[in-house]
Structure 1
Amino acid sequence: MLRLRRLNNTPLVVNLQSIALVEQTPDTLLVLTNGDRIHVAESVEEVVEQAVAFLTKVQAGALTLVQRQDDTE
Structure 2
Amino acid sequence: MIQLTKLNQTPISINAIYIERIESIPDTVVTLLSGKKVHVLESVEEVTNKMTSYYQKINLLSSLQEPNWTE
Partner of 2:4: 4
Match for residue 38 of structure 2? 38
Deviations 1:4-63 (A, max 9, x none): 000111000001111111000101001111111110000000000001111111118xxx
Q: Which 5+ residue runs of structure 1 have no aligned equivalent?
A: 61-73
Structure number having the greater helix percentage: 1
Partner of 1:19: 19
Give the TM-score taking structure 2 as reference length.
0.80
User: Stretches of 4+ moved more than 6 A in 1?
Assistant: none
User: RMSD of the alignment, in Å?
Assistant: 1.2
User: Aligned partners of 1:13 and 1:26: how far apart in 2?
Assistant: 22
